[in-house]
């Protein structure tokens, strides 16, 4: 055993009595963690994605409890360096992290709150399940992390989400949610396989601070769901102080208004702890689930599913938030501009509503949206006004760029690489644009590859100059440089 392995295992020694197979646990926590991905069913069927990647040399194995989640058993390059990942056809998500949303079991058309949503893996997973008629409120307290959350929602093409920036302990009441997820900030012990730094046992004062925050978040979520609604509490740590003890404290405070429900037997893991450090928990706390690294060859996860039977004692009276209607005038203006500029037909926006905030417009699948002061974003970024014309977002072009009929070029890998490297490149023949095969005009052009809209370039009458967002261009260039990273 290496020195690091010994330090890692010593940090977890206090959990030995809770772990079902200590030898398997000890072997798993010191091994590198394999990749896993979740197909984005808003954009692609899991079977189609699997076929595309396997055709380029990847080996994928779906998990039986969620076939859209697949273990990556091998491949020509890291899965995060593929064109499909760049386009948002899948999300890199360790298998254990996908379990809480499966346990939450969102249904089509429901209103779901993700109270601690960044970086967005679980919010995008929820959006897939509620579909275009459901509402996902993805909340994040940290504005910097909220930007990361918004980028992932955009990359995955989610148009049913509202992003709020708010301390989850004080999220505004008034909108009765059907379900809520509290994937709470925690000590993160279950992430040991992704973090090579040696670990020490968590300090008691830090555990107390975290448990106080976690309990407050869980109490708030229970005050925000309707009677009969469901809250799933999850962490990626092994510490009972942050797991069963938090659930136990909230159940006791609820005085029978909340019940811990059994989780589906098909889900991985073992039952929750019955007590810790000389303190016995309520018997129903055992209905929680502990997922250790050896169960899925993944990270660690704790989860409990709670059902609201009656209003919790700490719930307050509140009025529903005001609702915002789509900006019909802005919608007509942007859609007309995109049809005139790129030949994108009106039917590309069927079932989508345009909302405007300042100089920015957003696409949403919902005809009304709650309007909280804490709201940051309202759907999928569509376009912003530059002062002279609209500028479509790359995420919107992923959705509608394939339908462009003018001012569009389809590039081969070599030309695309040169463009992303900052070189000016000739456009080649335009993809059949206008009714008379009209030539490219000076100005903005949609760049496509393999039929997918990538972003914008400027055409000067002779050459194309890239106008991609810098970070997105860097990421796509990385895909081109990887063997197996791009479809040919």
pLDDT above 90: percentage of residues in the chain? 92
**pLDDT tens profile 312-332:** 999 999 999 999 999 999 999
Within a domain: 368: no
Q: Quick one: pLDDT at residue 432?
A: 41
Q: Quick one: pLDDT at residue 213?
A: 98
Within a domain: 473: yes
**pLDDT tens profile 174-223:** 999 999 999 999 999 999 888 756 567 788 999 999 999 999 999 999 99
Q: Quick one: pLDDT at residue 433?
A: 47
**pLDDT tens profile 352-375:** 999 999 999 999 999 999 999 999
Within a domain: 276: no
Structural contact between residues 343 and 433, judged by C-beta atoms closer than 8 angstroms: yes
Average pLDDT over the chain, rounded to whole? 94
Structural contact between residues 106 and 133, judged by C-beta atoms closer than 8 angstroms: no
Within a domain: 458: yes
**pLDDT tens profile 280-305:** 999 999 999 999 999 999 999 999 99
Within a domain: 154: no
Q: Which residue has the tokens 């009209």?
A: 438
Q: Say how many residues make up the chain.
A: 488
Mean pLDDT over residues 232-248, rounded?
97
Within a domain: 444: yes
Range of the domain at 461: 404-488
User: Is 186 tagged catalytic?
Assistant: no
Within a domain: 480: yes
Within a domain: 155: no
pLDDT above 70: percentage of residues in the chain? 96
Burial (0-12, 13-18, 19+ Cβ within 10 Å), 357: middle
**pLDDT tens profile 101-146:** 999 999 999 999 999 999 999 999 999 999 999 999 999 999 999 9
Q: Quick one: pLDDT at residue 199?
A: 67
Q: How many domains does the chain have?
A: 1
The pLDDT confidence band at residue 11, using thresholds 50, 70 and 90, is: confident
**pLDDT tens profile 152-176:** 999 999 999 999 999 999 999 999 9
Q: Which of 166, 186, 236, 479 is catalytic?
A: 236
The pLDDT confidence band at residue 9, using thresholds 50, 70 and 90, is: confident
Give, for 480, the enclosing helix (H) or strand (E): helix 470-481
CATH assignment at residue 415:
2.30.130.10
**pLDDT tens profile 38-47:** 999 999 999 9
The closest of 55, 90, 449, 194 to 457, measured between CA atoms, is: 449
Give, for 383, the enclosing helix (H) or strand (E): strand 380-385
How would you label 390-412 residue by residue, b for 16+ Cβ within 10 Å and e otherwise? bebbbbbbbbbbbebbbbbbbbe
In this predicted structure, the answer to whether residue 444 has a pLDDT above a threshold of 50 is yes
């Amino acid at each position: 055993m290496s020195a690091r392995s010994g330090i890692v295992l010593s940090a977890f020694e206090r959990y030995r009595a809770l772990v079902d197979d200590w030898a398997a646990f000890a072997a798993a926590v010191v091994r590198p963690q394999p990749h896993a991905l979740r197909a984005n069913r808003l954009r692609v069927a899991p079977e189609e994605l699997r076929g595309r990647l396997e055709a380029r040399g990847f080996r994928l194995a779906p998990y039986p409890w969620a076939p859209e989640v697949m273990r990556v058993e091998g491949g020509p390059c890291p899965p995060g360096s593929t064109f499909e990942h760049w386009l948002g056809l899948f999300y890199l998500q360790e298998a254990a992290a996908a379990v809480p949303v499966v346990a939450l079991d969102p249904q089509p058309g429901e209103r779901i709150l993700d109270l601690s949503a960044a970086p967005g893996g679980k919010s995008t997973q929820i959006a897939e399940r509620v579909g275009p008629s459901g509402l996902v409120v993805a909340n994040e307290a940290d504005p910097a992390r909220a930007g990361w959350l918004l980028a992932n929602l955009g990359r995955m093409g989610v148009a049913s989400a509202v992003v709020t920036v708010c301390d989850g302990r004080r999220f505004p009441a008034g909108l009765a949610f059907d379900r809520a997820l509290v994937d709470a900030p925690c000590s993160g012990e279950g992430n040991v396989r992704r973090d090579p730094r040696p670990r020490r046992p968590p300090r008691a004062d830090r555990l107390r601070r975290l448990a106080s925050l976690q309990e407050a978040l869980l109490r708030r979520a229970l005050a925000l769901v309707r009677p009969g609604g469901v809250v799933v509490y999850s962490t990626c740590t092994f510490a009972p102080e942050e797991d069963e003890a938090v659930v136990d404290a909230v159940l006791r405070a609820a005085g029978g208004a909340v019940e811990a429900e059994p989780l589906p037997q098909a889900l991985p893991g073992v039952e929750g702890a019955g007590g810790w450090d000389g303190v016995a928990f309520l018997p129903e706390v055992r209905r929680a689930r502990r997922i250790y690294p050896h169960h899925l060859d993944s990270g660690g996860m704790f989860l409990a599913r709670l059902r609201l039977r009656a209003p919790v004692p700490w719930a307050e009276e509140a009025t529903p938030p005001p609702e915002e209607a789509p900006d019909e005038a802005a919608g007509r203006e942007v859609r007309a501009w995109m049809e005139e500029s790129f030949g994108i037909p009106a039917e590309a926006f069927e079932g989508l509503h345009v909302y405007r905030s300042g100089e920015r417009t957003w696409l949403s699948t919902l005809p009304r949206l709650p309007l909280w002061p804490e709201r940051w974003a309202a759907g999928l970024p569509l376009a912003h006004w530059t002062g002279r014309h609209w500028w479509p977002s790359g995420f919107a072009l992923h959705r509608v760029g394939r339908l462009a009929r003018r001012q569009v070029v389809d590039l081969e890998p070599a030309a695309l690489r040169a463009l992303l490297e900052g070189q000016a490149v000739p456009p080649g023949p335009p993809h059949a644009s206008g009714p008379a095969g009209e030539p490219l005009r000076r100005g903005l052009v949609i760049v496509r590859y393999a039929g997918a809209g990538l972003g914008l370039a400027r055409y000067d009458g002779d050459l194309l100059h890239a106008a991609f967002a810098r970070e997105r261009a860097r990421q796509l260039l990385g895909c081109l440089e990887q063997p197996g990273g791009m479809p040919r």
